[in-house]
Amino acid sequence: MARIIGLICFLFGFCAPAYALPDHGYNYSYWGEAEPAPYPYLAEKKITGTSLGIGHFNVPQDVFAAGDRRIYIADTGNNRIVCLDESGHLIRVIDGFDYGGRSDGFNKPYGVYVDARNDIYVADTFNGRIVKLSNEGTFIAAFGPPESNIIPQDFQYFPLKLNVDRTNRIYVVAQGAYEGIMELDAGGSFKGYVGTNKVRFSPADLLWKRISTREQTEQMELFLPVEFSNLDLDERGFIYAVSSEINASTPIKRFNPAGEDILRREGYFDPRGDVSVIPLDASQTDAPALRNEGSSRFIDIVTDEGGMYSGLDSKRNRIFTYDRDGNLLYQFGGVGTHENYFQKPIAIAMLGDRMAVLDNEMNRLTIFAPTRYGALIREAIKANFNGRAEEAAAAWEEVLRLNANFDIAYIGMGKAHLKQNENKLAMSYFENGNNRKYYSEAFKRYRSEVVWNHFGTIMMVGLGAAALAIAGRVYWARRRPQLYFVDAGVARAPFYTLFRPFSGFWELKYEGKGRVKIALFIVLALIVTMILKRQYAGFVVNFNKPDELNSMDELIYIVMPFLLFCVSNWSLTTLMDGEGKFREIVMTVGYAMLPLVLVYAPQIAFSNMITLDEAPFYYLIETIAAIWFLWLLFVGLMTVHQYSIFKTALTLLLTLVVMAFVVFLGILIFSLLQQMTAFIISVATEIRARL
């Protein structure tokens, strides 16, 4: 018996599965990195024409879920509409209807929609019309090609996708309708275009078009916007539309009745699918080797509860779901033959919390059900949307137990605590979620709370500090002799130079009050200050990634430019009759850096006391410090070299040119040494191999 069991185990050990699903999906962090995440959806049921007993589907192009959760499939190649119940069981097949006393049918229907009265609208594409049927398939009306003066005369009407609002206005995505989405009234009359994509062209194309002759211009291709590929309406009647444009910055749009894009884009990245991709141009998109590269290309969109919406990416066969603010909640799918993957997904529809995905290459409809992870995210979003903060917080807490990398969950927890006036706790969650907008709001409330509760203490400390400052100033004023000329010592020279640069740098050069070691100490102090600033600056102004902070960077970005500038300036001014010595140039540049040290140090403390609305003051202080540094540098070089204003400015510009040239030579020499080393290693390897 043991031998039989062992033989069975041995045989099954060599039986690899035909396909395997990875143990996790991914989501994007604030830094644009793909972080592992649990799967939000998994396949629950596969439906094919054969399983329904109606023959194979033939390149179906659309799926729609009605209000009663019946499923309608536009089986394009078979010229029919297939109606299923919520469980995927066949109800009826509509492949013909009686039209004016004669039998009629569809010719490659690409789109289907069902309104609140369960009337069926079919985009009968190759017949150039929209057919309206009752729920039983009885003919109601047909709307042929729209007529209007604003429609191009050579336009051929091929309706692809459609949707209907509460007032029975029909919105149609038609092939070649570059002007936007076509709007028809309840009777099928054309009312105008809604929304449009902007024309995209390169500056080189525009320049060439401007300088070309009329004959050349007439032979050029027109700059046309990309047509929309699909649309859907949300509960409020706003139109969500997608386009499959390559490298589109806004592939998903939300139009109001005026045709303005009002989609919220408040997430880390705009809703555009995959973020970390290699951009491709139009000539590369069809290359087999680059199948999985390039931007996402959306071909369908579906609105959802709680302000959520999902887009179908045909580039990598994935579905991306966003909340109403444009935050990516989750994604699933991919390229493959596994039931959770697709070969060529073409349309999606929502069945409550479940999702139906139509694959027109595998000719199947797959019903996906949310996992616990996906269900919790949806529960949290809907609870927050409806103002149930406690329920949202509980759901987000469970989400974080399943995925501690999910930044949006931290933001959700922060919002829930913010609604409950737990401001300090909300701040910590917003910081973990890298959301400065809501962190700033929580901090503003927390700051007001602290000031209100400790107002007396704060006033006493402030008044005491002011009194000490005044007393100290009076004391030192009485002790200091009243002289018209103040002799600044060596140690005080850098501070004297801050406010009297002409006198200070003159004394540095001609009275020997400058010291190289003091200049180098200021450079060292600046390095330390910059390290502290990068590490401890307030969250609202600190955009540094913690795990990428490296103190050695400051040596590269401060010490190297400092030395390079000093050497370049000395080399140049030696040839331009400059009187400054190398040590004087070093002292001048070092002393000029003192404002940066003196400003940056208190700026770190200030940055931890401000909100996002007050951040401009932080950057104003930084700008003042930079201008102060440049002013001291200019005056110092003009003084030590005894140049005019014009010659000093010219020398500074030429110094930058010399610095760039030195960097170029350094890179060139490094590259040559690298190639020589590689050549020597290869020769040595070849000799060793032959010996």
- The predicted pLDDT at position 541 comes to 93
Sign of the alpha-carbon torsion through 347, 351, 352, 355: negative
- The predicted pLDDT at position 65 comes to 95
562-617 pLDDT tens trace: 999 999 999 999 888 888 899 999 999 999 999 999 999 999 999 999 999 999 99
pLDDT at 378 over 90: yes
Which has the closest alpha carbon to 659: 522, 564, 517? 564
pLDDT at 160 over 70: yes
pLDDT at 353 over 80: yes
Crossing angle between the packed helical segments 560-575 and 645-690, to the nearest 10 degrees: 120
- In b/e form, how buried is each residue of 381-397, taking b as 16+ CB within 10 angstroms? bbbbeeebbebbbbbbe
Residue 431 to residue 428: CA distance in whole angstroms: 5
Question: In terms of pLDDT, which residue wins out, 336 or 278?
Answer: 336
Average pLDDT over residues 127-151: 92
Ordered by start, the domain boundaries in the chain are 195-199+225-281+292-368, 370-474, 481-673
- The predicted pLDDT at position 204 comes to 59
Question: In terms of pLDDT, which residue wins out, 487 or 263?
Answer: 263
User: What are the Cα distances from residue 383, in Å, to 121, 386, 393, 446, 497?
Assistant: 33, 5, 9, 25, 62
pLDDT at 473 over 90: no
Q: Give the least confident one: 19-23, 131-135, 496-500.
A: 19-23
Average pLDDT over residues 96-104: 89
- Torsion, CA 522, CA 526, CA 527, CA 530, rounded to 10: 170
Neighbouring-strand partners of residue 72: 64, 83
pLDDT at 465 over 90: no
Class of domain 370-474 (CATH, top level): mainly alpha
Question: C-alpha angle with apex 387: 382 to 392, nearest 5 degrees?
Answer: 55
What's phi and psi for 234, nearest 5 deg?
A: -90, -175
pLDDT at 217 over 70: no
- The predicted pLDDT at position 669 comes to 92
Label each residue of 413-482 as H, E or C: HHHHHHHCCCHHHHHHHHHHCCCHHHHHHHHHHHHHHHHHHCHHHHHHHHHHHHHHHHHHHHHHHHHCCC
- The predicted pLDDT at position 101 comes to 82
pLDDT at 630 over 90: yes
Confidence label for 545 from pLDDT (cuts 50, 70 and 90) = confident
Q: Are 168 and 186 a contacting pair, CB within 8 Å?
A: yes
Percent of the chain with pLDDT over 90: 57
pLDDT at 13 over 60: no
Q: What is the pTM of this model?
A: 0.82
Average pLDDT over residues 384-409: 91
- The predicted pLDDT at position 486 comes to 47
On the CB side of 327, how many CA atoms lie within 13 Å of its CA? 19
pLDDT at 279 over 50: yes
CATH number of 195-199+225-281+292-368: 2.120.10.30
- In b/e form, how buried is each residue of 487-497, taking b as 16+ CB within 10 angstroms? ebeeeebbebb
Percent of the chain with pLDDT over 70: 88
Q: Give the least confident one: 300-309, 482-491, 662-671.
A: 482-491
Average pLDDT of the chain is 86
Q: Give the least confident one: 191-205, 252-266, 425-439, 550-564.
A: 191-205
Confidence label for 3 from pLDDT (cuts 50, 70 and 90) = very low
Residue 474 to residue 467: CA distance in whole angstroms: 11
- The predicted pLDDT at position 463 comes to 82
pLDDT at 142 over 70: yes
pLDDT at 351 over 90: yes
pLDDT at 179 over 90: no
Confidence label for 472 from pLDDT (cuts 50, 70 and 90) = confident
Residue found by looking up tokens 């023959």 in the block: 55
Q: Give the least confident one: 338-342, 446-450, 654-658.
A: 446-450
The yes-or-no answer to whether 195-199+225-281+292-368 and 370-474 have a common fold is: no
Average pLDDT over residues 171-186: 91
28-64 pLDDT tens trace: 988 888 889 999 999 999 999 999 999 999 999 999 9
pLDDT at 389 over 90: no
631-646 pLDDT tens trace: 999 999 999 999 999 9
Distance of CA 634 to the CA centre of its chain: 41
pLDDT at 95 over 70: yes
- The predicted pLDDT at position 522 comes to 93
Crossing angle between the packed helical segments 582-592 and 615-641, to the nearest 10 degrees: 160
Q: Which amino acid is at 538?
A: G
Q: Give the least confident one: 210-224, 337-351, 616-630.
A: 210-224
Residue 88 to residue 86: CA distance in whole angstroms: 6
